[in-house]
Every structure is written in structure tokens, then in C-alpha cells.
Structure 1
Amino acid sequence: MQQNLFSTIGLIGKYSDSGVEETLTGLVGYLRQRERKILLDEATAEVVPGLGLETASRTELGRSCDLVIVVGGDGTLLNAVRSLAGHSVPLLGINLGHLGFLADISPDCMAHCLDEVLAGNYQEEERCLLHAAITRDGEVISESSAFNDVVVHKWDIARMIEMETSINGVYVNTIRADGLIVSTPTGSTAYALSGGGPILYPSLEALVLVPICPHTMSNRPIVVHSSSTVEVVVAEQSQPYAQVTCDGQVNLGLTAGDRVVIHTNPEPVRLIHPAGHDHFELLRAKLHWGRRLA
């Protein structure tokens, strides 16, 4: 029945934001008035202990909740997406950050937007999630998910690294650059955009490979199908200076002979937006594009 839509709701808050407690307190009061069961992320509960809620691990949130509301910025939502990977629970973001491409509801209009969502008046979209694995001698030695991008890059050195790239087992090129970004459409407005990559529509079944400061200017971004498997091997002389970073938050080390294998997860990420959500309006607002002529 309509009144039971999203009957169990999980809450995740940004750990270091001074405004998260006030927003979470208001959100808890709102959901209690609407007789929703609330589960609080146990890590968030350590920072905001006074809410008096049942706590749960991220895995338990994924298993038990009909909806997870993330209070913070896009970085908080990126973290939540990775930790809930493999669960089909939809996520909705309350934005306390700066850009807010993903967490697109402001605290000021939170109650109105949630009224619409809980009444079933919302937009849901599915977005792809990357999986990155580092293999050594044929075995996976480390792995992580990424919602925005997987970046193979140099660290702590003012020199380029050399990388060989293949797609679906077919050799593409060898480049000397500061790194290589493998981005989802979601991540195309993040680091990949700064590197000169194209903006991809979120539902597009594609990935984009963006070299970072390549030595040869003919090394341009490449768009491939989202079903592609991208493999990157860093040259042996560059290995001590290279690492892999997922969403700018998870670092994976590399040693000589390691291969970085990147593909999309079979389970997509489900995002909830307020009714009337317009991606191009979001781009205009966040990227400060011009107004219409008439």
C-alpha cells in the first residue's frame, strides 16, 4: 500500500561535518512522525550518539532497508555507494557539501522533497558501478568498487609514468602521462572533466578513458561501451611510483608485474531524485553555464 512505501529507512551521515547532527536530528523527527522504522549507520552513531536509534552495519542496512538516505556531500554518497555495493537498496542524498551532483536535496527543502518521495512521487535511475582488481601472478591481491572513477596515477614524484592499455583483451596503446582515469558517466563531471574528458549522460552505457597530462597530445579521451573490460599495466620502471585510487578515497598499491583490471558491476546503483529532476538543469547550476537567450 502507498503508506508503506519505504517502510524501513537507513541513515548515513558525514562523520566530520558540523551540520550533520542538526540535519539528522530534523530528519529523524520527520521520519518518526511518518511512522517509518529507522536504522542508523553504526559509524555515524559514534559521531552523533544522541539520536536514540537502532544501529546497523552497512551490510545490515543493505539487507534490511527499503531506502538509505545519505546526509553529507557527494563524497559521503560515494562512500555509501561502495559500501552498499551488491545490495539493491536505493539511495537518496541530502546535500551538505559544495557541488551536490549526486546528493541533490538541500536541507532547506528536505521535508517537502521527502513528502513527495514517500508518497511515491519521485524519479529513480540506475547508474553503473565499476569494479577494480589488481592481479598478481593470476591472483587478485586487492580490489575495490568505484562509482565515479578508477585512476591509475603517479604519486610522490615529479615525473610521468608509462602504461599499456587494452580493452577486451585487445591492445589499445602505450602512453606516458601522469595517469589514466577510467570513469563512469557519473564520474564524467568529476576528475575526468578536469582532465578534458566529455560529459556523459548518466544513463549512457559507456565508460571514458581520460589520460592525465599525456606527453603526446594525440592521446585523447576514448569512450567505450560499459560492458568493456579495461586492463592497465604500468611499465616496470614506473611501478614504484604508481598506485590506483578509487573515487579519490581508496588507494591500492602496485608492484612490478601487477595488472589493473576494470569492469562494471552486474548490479547497478539505484538513485532516488525528487520529481522533476533535470540533469541539464543540474549541470547549468553546478557548472555555471549561461542562461537561455530567450
Structure 2
Amino acid sequence: MRIRNSMNKKFQSIGIFGKHSYTNIKKTLESIVDMLNKWQISYLMESETATDLNIETSKTGSLEQIINTCDLALIVGGDGSFLKYARHLSLYDIPVIGVNKGNLGFLTDINPNEIEDTLHEIVEGHYLIEERFLIQAEVINNGKSKYKSNALNDIVLFPGELAHMIEFEVHINNQFVYSQRSDGIITATPTGSTAYALSAGGPIVQTNLNVLLLVPMFPHTLTNRPITISADDEIVITLSNHNKKPPRLSYDGKSQITLETNDCIHIKKQPQKLKLLHPKNYNYYETLRRKLSWGTQITKT
């Protein structure tokens, strides 16, 4: 794993984000504010987070204000909350770290029970830093752009209604790959290989590899399997005009749009990368073992 392990810069100002209307994180956010005040480190809490959770602090700001003021983003919640904010923060070269208050927490490394010691080490410059790439998808129809957004995990084409297969074609670098009838297709990054793509039968991919996964969802054939391609390739998915119901497209399971006949989805790597921070004791394989309930190491007796 290519993760930088050295003495890094200290952080002077921290932007704090939390899952809205999730009262379970209120005490954690309040304790973080107390810690930063004690350490005399400036911070801004996202206004919506503070308002929705009724947190009493005058140091609040918009996402734009945090981007312009802070040099570290701290996200409290689960992987869903992390994805929501990281997609935007990746565009502005702001390092990000998460406190896990969700379920799996593949992206949120800090254990809430160890938050004071871990967070203090990080703001003092003792952390690991890893770059993760994102992908972007632009929907084009008759040469006109309809919608464009990015994703850290995956971009998913799926039916507009349950139990309706959809038809589409896939081209890579202007070369025809296949046409398919299925429940859709997942285009996943290495980061997203442990998310939805894993549930659909895709492989786990080390996060430093420059590849993308194309994972079909319940294809109407026994021979269509996930494939791995270079992340520098451009993927174009074209909808068939035989689809009776309009399919949909999702970005990290968050923003979703309804597609139309003959829409083309252009997917490629985003130029800007996400700077993801880890505690000093971060271990990728230990994370996989713990989150996926793999077996422990066999020891001799």
C-alpha cells in the first residue's frame, strides 16, 4: 500500500461535519468541540450540522466558508456521511478524516472511544496520508450535457422500477465491449470495491491500484462477469431505445437522476484526488478482517 508515513504538517483550523438529524453523534461532536477549545485549535462546524443537532457554538460556517478557512475536514458519522462530504472536499485539496459512528465504517477510521488521543496525534502531524481517486459521470443526449457529478465509491445504472431489466451498450475508449440485458451495471473505484460492487460479486481491489471495476447486476447470461480496466480509460454507456421504463443513475448512492432514451453516460477519472488521512496504526488488511469478519491468523500451538 502506498501510504505516506512520515512527520506531516500540523493543522491549524478544522472543519467539522456530522450526519444531520442523527442525534447519536451529538455528544461526540460536543466532545470534539471541547477538545479543540482545550488544545486552542480553531474550528468551524458546518452550520446545518450545528442547527439540526442543536449544538451550541458560535463557530459555525457554510461549506464554502469551511473550504476557504480550514486545512482539515473532520467528518463524524458513517461511510454514507463521509461520501457525501468527501465528494465535494476532494475538489479543493482539503485532507479528510472520519470518526466512525455508523455501521461498517470502511472510510471512517477513528474509533469514538479513542477519539481524544487519536485526534490529538493527527492535529499534531502524526498521521498517515493516502490519495484516493474519484470518478465523474456526465450524461449527454444529442451532444448536450444534461448532468454531471462525481463519486468516490461507485456510479450505478439501475432500473427505474423493481423487477425490470434494462438494455444498454458499453464502449471503452471508443471500442465496443458488449451489449447487455440486466438489472444494471456498477462502475466502481478501488475504494468502492468493498461497497455495492462487493455485494454484486465484484473483487476486492487494493486502494492504490489505478483500475476501475465494471460489475454487471444480475445479467441475463451466464458468461457476463465483472471486468477490471485501467482507470485512465473512458467508459461510455448508451441506453437502448427498447427500455420500457426510464432507468436511473446514482452517484455514491446519494444524488440520483432519471435517464431518457439514447442518453449516453460518459465515465472517467476525476483529475483531483481525495487526501484521506489515517491514524498511525492504520492497517488495510486488518480493516478488511475486522469489517468483513474474516478469520484470524492461525497460530502454532
Per the TM superposition, whether the score is higher than 0.5 is yes
Would you say 1:171 and 2:193 are equivalent positions? no
Would you say 1:141 and 2:141 are equivalent positions? no
Query: After alignment, is 79-88 or 174-183 more displaced?
Result: 79-88
Aligned length: 293
Please list, as runs of the form range in 1=range in 2, the aligned pairs for 1:263-278 lying within 5 A after superposition: 263-278=268-283
1:237 Cα offset (Å): 1.8
1:266 Cα offset (Å): 0.5
Report what 1:282 is aligned to: 287
Question: Which residue identity lines up with residue 124 of structure 1 in the other structure?
Answer: I
For the 8 Å contact 1:239–1:256, the answer to whether it is kept is no
For residues 73 and 85 of structure 1, do their structure 2 counterparts lie closer, same or farther at Cα, with a shift above 3 Å needed? same
* Alignment gaps of 5+ in structure 2: 1-6
1:106 Cα offset (Å): 1.5
Please list, as runs of the form range in 1=range in 2, the aligned pairs for 1:209-248 lying within 5 A after superposition: 209-238=214-243, 240-248=245-253
Report what 2:101 is aligned to: 96
What's the Cα RMSD here? 1.5
Question: After superposition, what is the alpha-carbon deviation per residue over 1:186-242, rounded to whole angstroms, capped at 9, x for unaligned?
Answer: 000000000100101011111100000011121111111111111101111216331
For the 8 Å contact 1:59–1:84, the answer to whether it is kept is no
For residues 199 and 3 of structure 1, do their structure 2 counterparts lie closer, same or farther at Cα, with a shift above 3 Å needed? closer
Report what 1:190 is aligned to: 195
For the 8 Å contact 1:188–1:198, the answer to whether it is kept is yes
Would you say 1:86 and 2:122 are equivalent positions? no
Which consecutive aligned stretches of 4+ in structure 1 deviate over 3 angstroms post-superposition?
Answer: none
Question: After superposition, what is the alpha-carbon deviation per residue over 1:124-147, rounded to whole angstroms, capped at 9, x for unaligned?
Answer: 100011111111111211111111
Q: Give the SS at the match of 2:245.
A: helix
Distance in 1, Cα, partners of 2:173 & 2:244: 23
1:252 Cα offset (Å): 1.4
Would you say 1:28 and 2:71 are equivalent positions? no
Query: After alignment, is 259-268 or 51-60 more displaced?
Result: 51-60
Question: After superposition, what is the alpha-carbon deviation per residue over 1:225-263, rounded to whole angstroms, capped at 9, x for unaligned?
Answer: 111111101111216331101111110111112101111
For the 8 Å contact 1:42–1:55, the answer to whether it is kept is yes
Query: After alignment, is 112-121 or 42-51 more displaced?
Result: 42-51
* Alignment gaps of 5+ in structure 1: none
Report what 1:71 is aligned to: 76
Q: Give the SS at the match of 1:51.
A: coil
Question: Which residue identity lines up with residue 42 of structure 2 in the other structure?
Answer: K
- Which one of the candidate residues 18, 21, 29 is aligned to 2:23? 18
Would you say 1:39 and 2:49 are equivalent positions? no
Please list, as runs of the form range in 1=range in 2, the aligned pairs for 1:102-113 lying within 5 A after superposition: 102-113=107-118
For the 8 Å contact 1:58–1:83, the answer to whether it is kept is no
1:119 Cα offset (Å): 2.1
Report what 2:14 is aligned to: 9
Report what 2:127 is aligned to: 122
Question: Which residue identity lines up with residue 29 of structure 1 in the other structure?
Answer: D
Normalized against structure 1, the TM-score is what? 0.96
For residues 239 and 278 of structure 1, do their structure 2 counterparts lie closer, same or farther at Cα, with a shift above 3 Å needed? farther
For the 8 Å contact 2:170–2:237, the answer to whether it is kept is yes
Report what 2:3 is aligned to: none
Question: Which residue identity lines up with residue 218 of structure 1 in the other structure?
Answer: T
Normalized against structure 2, the TM-score is what? 0.94
Report what 2:53 is aligned to: 48
Question: Which residue identity lines up with residue 183 of structure 2 in the other structure?
Answer: D
Q: Percent identity among equivalent residues? A: 37
Q: Give the SS at the match of 1:19.
A: helix
For the 8 Å contact 2:72–2:95, the answer to whether it is kept is yes
For residues 125 and 3 of structure 1, do their structure 2 counterparts lie closer, same or farther at Cα, with a shift above 3 Å needed? closer
